[in-house]
Amino acid sequence: MVAENLETFCQRAREAIEERDWDRAKQEYLKALGLRSDSPDVHYGLATVYFQLNELTSAAHHFKEVTRLDPKRAGAFVNLGAVLNLLTEYDEAITVLRKGIALDPKRTEGYYNLGLVHKRKGQLDLAVQAYREAIRINPRLGDAHLNLGNVYLDKRQYRQAIAHYENALKVRPGWPKALEGMALAQAAQASGVDTTESRIVQTDTPEGERLVDPTVHTEFLSELHSVSVESEEIGRHLQTVLAAELEGTIKELSLSLLSTHGAGGELADRVSKFETSVGHVVESQKALKESLAKLLKLEARFAELPPGTLPEPKED
């Protein structure tokens, strides 16, 4: 009888999930949990519902219960790592994600989420490794290509960033995020700063090539540095707006459009928030274009600079 009641509650919860009625699904799973507190499946379902409700601490608690009750379930470790990442508990997230990957080395989302955590920690080389492994397993994982492009953009390796944005667009043609990243990378590449390959320090200046000398071109170099920093800050701000603001408003708007229970006022509010976010993106794009235009003007001025001189070699 208990097993029948347990299954009844779980079935009702699954039906509620199909209807995106997360509160009802939570209540049904809590009833099931009252009958079987040691059921990893009930904890897993409840954790998933809490995640959808954005109750991340509760979601993490129940995913941890799954890993305790069923320590071989790789998916629970991976999902727990994803939630811990959102809770900014990065070190613990890395630990549990690596456990999930060890249990299932072919689980793409394990490497993908590991890349997310390393990126948030500023560990860009480790993020590259994780995303590349995810792509090796699933070459058509567009999100991994997009995020890898973003990492290479942060590393100022624009050629590789562009290549991965192109791959993301092959998977999802017209993807706004990939197009935005591509534009940023191409504009930065045009400015001539790319650390994809190590630069060779020359001991002399080839004929016809102009040397920038800090002792002669101080004002020019100071202005170039200022505009370059400005462009980078605007680019990062644009990325932040796209990731932290526009993406969230799109999700909220999508939920309102898909929900049969949403009120007209709520939809209007979310449409307004979406329009505001789009406005912020447009403002950032405009600022970035203006900053890049300054860089192009500086490039034109470079040809008019008086020649610099090479420093005298120092004797040992």
Would you write out the chain's pLDDT as a tens digit for each of its 316 residues?
344 588 899 999 899 999 999 999 999 999 989 888 999 999 999 999 999 999 999 999 999 999 999 999 999 999 999 999 999 999 999 999 999 999 999 999 999 999 999 999 999 999 999 999 999 999 999 999 999 999 999 999 999 999 999 999 999 999 999 999 999 999 888 876 566 543 323 333 343 444 444 444 556 556 665 666 666 666 666 666 565 666 666 767 666 666 655 455 676 777 777 677 677 767 767 776 776 677 667 666 655 555 443 333 333 3
pLDDT of residue 315: 38
Long-range contacts of 197-205 (CB under 8 A, 24+ apart): 204/310, 205/310
Q: How far is CA 307 from the centre of its chain?
A: 44
Residue 250 lies in a domain: yes
Residue 198 lies in a domain: no
Question: CA 104 to CA 110: how far, in whole Å?
Answer: 9
Question: CA 212 to CA 203: how far, in whole Å?
Answer: 14
Please count the structural domains in the chain.
1
Residue 311 lies in a domain: no
- Residue 201 in tokens: 């320090």
pLDDT of residue 253: 60
**Enclosing domain of residue 254:** 210-306
Residue 190 lies in a domain: no
pLDDT of residue 313: 36
Question: CA 29 to CA 10: how far, in whole Å?
Answer: 6
Distances (CA, A) of 97 to 72, 83, 105: 13, 11, 11
Residue 88 lies in a domain: no
3-state secondary structure at position 61 = helix
Residue 138's Cβ-count burial label (10 Å; 0-12, 13-18, 19+) is middle
For residue 111, give the nearest of 76, 135, 87, 75 by alpha carbon.
135
Residue 226 lies in a domain: yes
Residue 301 lies in a domain: yes
Residue 219 lies in a domain: yes
Question: CA 273 to CA 265: how far, in whole Å?
Answer: 12
